[in-house]
Structures are given as C-alpha cells and as structure tokens.
Amino acid sequence: MEIQVKLDELRKNKLFIATPMYGGMAHGLYVKSCLDLQAMMTKYGIETKFSFLFNESLITRARNYLVDEFLRTDYTHMLFIDSDIHFNAQDVVALMALDKDVIGGPYPKKAINWQNVIDAARKHPNLEAQELEKLVGQYVFNVVKGTKQFSVTEPLEVLEIGTGYMLIKRHVFDKMKDAYPMIHYKPDHVGQANFDGTRYIHAYFDTVIDAKGSITDGGTDRYLSEDYMFCQMWRKIGGQ
C-alpha cells in the first residue's frame, strides 16, 4: 500500500509524544528513534513535544497522567511510545497520514515464540536464518472476530492493540470522557505540578475483568490490560 503524505495537511497537526519511563531508563534504539523522529518532524515543519514520566511504578496511573498532560496542551495527536520500542520515524508520519482516530503499530512480546520457529523450520527446511528470525515474535494485537486473513501492507481493524506504540487523536479522549463520566478520579500526588488536590482527571487506562456488566461488558471474563481495556472501551462507543 502506498500512503500519500500531504505535508500541508500534516503541518496543521501537533504531535505530543508520551513515554512512561519507570526508573528513568530508556533503551538506546528508542533514543535513536526519538532523535530521528525529532529531526524528521523539524524538517517537515510539524510541531512536536516530548513528555516523559519518571519513577511511576503503576503503568495505568502513568498513562493517565500523560494523557492529562496532553489534554492541557493544544496538541492534536498523542503518540504513546514505550522506552524499549525501536521504531522508524517515517512510520510515525505514515500513521498520521492515514488519519485514523486510534492506530498503532504491532510489536513483539519480550519472548521468543519457539512454536513458530519449529513450525516454520519444519515447513520450510531451507529457510534462511535471517528469514527465520522474522518469525520468532508473538505480536501484541488481537484481530476482530471473523478475520480470516490480512495483508501486512494494509491497515487492519483489530479488537485490541498494545499502547507501546499507539497514536490517538485528541477528540477520542473527549468522546470517552463524555461516554464514561464515572471513571474520573482525584490524583493522590498532591503537591506536584498541576495537582493541588482539587483537580480530577480521567482513568482512560485501567485494568478490568471483561465480565458482563463491567465497563467493557464483553462477557469473556478475560483479564484485560490497560491498553486492551482502552481499545474495548473505544470500540464499545463506536470507535475503531
């Protein structure tokens, strides 16, 4: 698929890049990717801001704080990138050009899927090592029920995808805030910048058991991580 990038249109947007960074540590390839992205956005004339949150051990709270930081700006897009993700800066431009409300890039879990390796080696015994390497990952997304096949060169509607590399438009949070008024809470980090003990923010990211009657109401009884819960809540109100 060839993605048409209209720079005049993209320049109307502002990109807010958010990384929760427990312990203040980042991987080298993540840092290189961010530097490449900053250089590319400067070249293209797209305003960009980085926001890092250090030493927050609870990932759900970290993501909600970063969303609140984003919503207190006039930026149009929020890009979550975890500090261990290596990405291509040009792919971020492509994600913005696709103009989706919520869109992400799949990335592998931190484990080798040995069953994939065995199956591929048995089916294709002459496969080159560098090709076999591409099959060792198990990727963080689940397709929509009924999906039989898909192309890796085309956008794919999914049931859930990880927040480690996810682009979200500003109005998504506005719609979710209106649809789920019950998930606002008062942060307990009183005394920090922008938190004086009186402000409420929204828990867009949390964990839940996907039971009937829960906020996701899926009836699967799966334990959903904060990124999967976010996706389910967004789809529940008609989002993709």
Q: Distance between CA atoms of 154 and 176, rounded to whole angstroms?
A: 27
Structural domain includes residue 236: no
Please state the domain count of the chain.
1
Band of the pLDDT at 8, cuts 50, 70, 90?
A: confident
- Of 15 and 107, more confident: 15
Q: Distance between CA atoms of 166 and 186, rounded to whole angstroms?
A: 26
Helix (H) or strand (E) holding 226: helix 226-236
Band of the pLDDT at 191, cuts 50, 70, 90?
A: low
Structural domain includes residue 232: no
Write down the mean pLDDT value for the chain.
89
Structural domain includes residue 117: no
- Provide the pLDDT for residue 81: 97
Going by C-alpha positions, the residue among 85, 91, 111, 81 that lies closest to residue 29 is 85
Structural domain includes residue 47: yes
Structural domain includes residue 14: yes
Structural domain includes residue 121: no
What range defines the domain where residue 170 resides?
A: 7-109+143-205
Band of the pLDDT at 1, cuts 50, 70, 90?
A: low
Is 116 within 8 Å of 136 (Cβ atoms)? yes
DSSP-assigned states of every residue in 110-144:
SS--HHHHHHHHHH-TT--HHHHGGGS--BSEEEP
- Provide the pLDDT for residue 201: 93
Q: What is the DSSP letter of 24?
A: G
Structural domain includes residue 189: yes
Backbone conformation region of residue 24, classed left if phi is above 0, alpha if psi is from -120 to 50, else beta: left
Highest mean pLDDT among 28-37, 111-120, 198-207: 28-37
Strand positions, DSSP E, 41-163 = 47-54, 77-81, 102-104, 141-143, 158-161
**21: CATH:** 3.90.550
- Provide the pLDDT for residue 28: 96
Q: Is it the case that residue 192 has pLDDT exceeding 70?
A: no
Q: Which two tokens stand for residue 145?
A: 């029920």
Q: Is it the case that residue 43 has pLDDT exceeding 70?
A: yes
Structural domain includes residue 74: yes
pLDDT average, residue stretch 180-187: 92
pLDDT digits (tens, 9 = 90+) for 195-217: 777 889 999 999 999 999 999 99
- Provide the pLDDT for residue 195: 75
Given the structure tokens 């989002």, which residue do they identify? 239
- Provide the pLDDT for residue 2: 61
Query: What is the model's pTM?
Result: 0.89
- Of 197 and 32, more confident: 32
